[in-house]
Amino acid sequence: MSLMWTVKVLGLGVVALSLSVELLSRLLHRLRPGGPLNEALFFPSELACVEHIFTSLSPRSCLCPLPHGVETSFSRLLRRILSATSSLDLCVFAFSNMGLSRAVLALHSRGVTVRVLTDKDYTAIPGSQIGVLRKAGICVRCDASPVHMHHKFAVVDGRLLITGSLNWTLAAVQSNMENVLVTEEPDLVRPYVKEFLRLWERNDPGQMPPHE
């Protein structure tokens, strides 16, 4: 066989292999009972204690005055965030919610790689948790473009997308009408992973390219 043929056959083999890996991973996803995770959350969330989500305490042993043992949109959101085992990429305009900050700090102290991209104008506002996250050693980048970095999405372990209208503030969780979509659909997760990386690299303080 000529060298050119060998190269062609090898090339076809590589294409076939990568296609079958892609097909297999799609198939495995479909075979999961119930398919990929999809969940819609609406806010404002009912007010309920979330202490048991952070600690191994039984909800009954908490003495705070809030209702206990109640699953709410907020508790579901916290559980999804805390399900991270390797990475959390967060792209959020406003971040002042203490419960969400506690979740991000907990992930960081568990060794999960956390990257936070936020809007430069919001970071210095009173109550912003960005300084707290930075002090804890979490890598934060501020978008320096002249327009708002108005996204509100997070990607957990590169596989689970959390996105919607919800800023990570107390008002958004407890007062506003907001929506959040949680999904593991690879066709939706993939572009968000890509967009996060694009914005993350664009705001690398080491090599800030000029913004048009």
- Choosing from 41, 43, 45, 49, the residue that interacts with Zn ion (CB under 5 A) is 49
With CB under 5 A as the contact rule, which of the stretches 19-27, 47-55, 179-187, 193-201 interacts with Zn ion? 47-55
Active-site residue (options: 52, 68, 120, 157):
157
Length of the chain: 212
Report the candidate in 187, 196, 191, 202 with the shortest Cα–Cα distance to residue 25.
187
CB of 70 to Zn ion, least distance (A): 10
Q: Does 3 bind Zn ion (CB under 5 A)?
A: no
Q: Does 64 bind Zn ion (CB under 5 A)?
A: yes
Q: Does 62 bind Zn ion (CB under 5 A)?
A: yes
With respect to Zn ion, which residue has the nearer C-beta, 62 or 142? 62
Give dist(CA 163, CA 184) in Å, integer.
11
With respect to Zn ion, which residue has the nearer C-beta, 48 or 171? 48
Is the Cα torsion angle 177, 74, 128, 157 positive or negative in sign? negative
Q: With beta carbons less than 8 A apart as the criterion, state whether 116 and 140 touch.
A: yes
Give dist(CA 138, CA 134) in Å, integer.
5
Q: Which residue is nearest to Zn ion (CB)?
A: 49
Active-site residue (options: 8, 148, 150, 194):
150
The helices-and-strands tally (H runs, E runs) of the chain is: 7, 7
Q: Which residues bind Zn ion (CB under 5 A)?
A: 49, 51, 62, 64
Instruction: Tell me the catalytic residues.
Output: 150, 152, 157
